[in-house]
């Protein structure tokens, strides 16, 4: 909606741009800093920055710019502003969607970690089962050798006694 309105005015020859950023670092201050880095800003006599949910009076710029023109020691004019109910609801909906997306992302990560942990646990269980089988086989082998040796010793004793 805001972007379309900016395009409409630009089509009438007004030097206006709609800017949006993906990186939300620094929130509003970050947006201002990022906006002022734009190369075209250096060629503008005045820069007006508004949030998407600001609702200004139609004559805002006509009333604000004269303060800058008439007072060379003033570099910034900020006026009273208000949020529109619809924009507030839009902002809340966007925040809710972002929170939902974040929670869904964290849930997916947790599920992926759970899957990896279950797989690792199953691998450990299988490894432990193999180790138990190997230990049991070694035990039987050792006991079997000792029994065989014991039988041989008993047989030798019997032969010697005869």
Report domain extents, the chain: 2-108
Q: Express each pLDDT in 77-97 by its tens digit.
A: 776 666 555 566 767 777 777
User: Could you write out the DSSP letters of every residue in 44-65?
Assistant: -S------TTEE--TTHHHHHH
Which of the residue ranges 32-41, 76-85, 121-130, 137-146 would you say has the lowest mean pLDDT?
76-85
Query: Running DSSP on this structure, what letter comes out for residue 8?
Result: H
Lowest mean pLDDT among 23-27, 67-71, 79-83, 114-118: 79-83
Rg over CA atoms, the chain: 39
Q: What is the mean pLDDT of residues 100-124?
A: 89
Q: Is residue 157 over pLDDT 60? A: yes
H or E segment and range at residue 82:
strand 82-83
């Amino acid at each position: 909606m805001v972007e379309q309105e900016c395009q409409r005015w630009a089509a009438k020859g007004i030097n206006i741009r709609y800017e949006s950023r993906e990186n939300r670092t620094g929130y509003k201050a970050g947006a201002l800093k990022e906006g002022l880095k734009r190369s075209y800003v250096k060629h503008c006599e005045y820069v007006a920055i508004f949030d998407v949910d600001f609702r200004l009076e139609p004559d805002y710029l006509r009333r604000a710019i004269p303060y800058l023109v008439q007072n060379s020691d003033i570099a910034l004019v900020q006026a009273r502003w208000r949020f529109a109910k619809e924009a507030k609801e839009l902002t809340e909906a966007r925040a809710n969607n972002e929170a939902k997306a974040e929670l869904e992302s964290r849930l997916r990560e947790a599920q992926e970690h759970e899957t990896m942990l279950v797989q690792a646990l199953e691998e450990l269980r299988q490894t432990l089962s193999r180790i138990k089988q190997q230990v049991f086989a070694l035990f039987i082998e050792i006991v079997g050798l000792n029994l065989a040796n014991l039988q041989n010793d008993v047989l030798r004793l019997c032969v010697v006694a005869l």
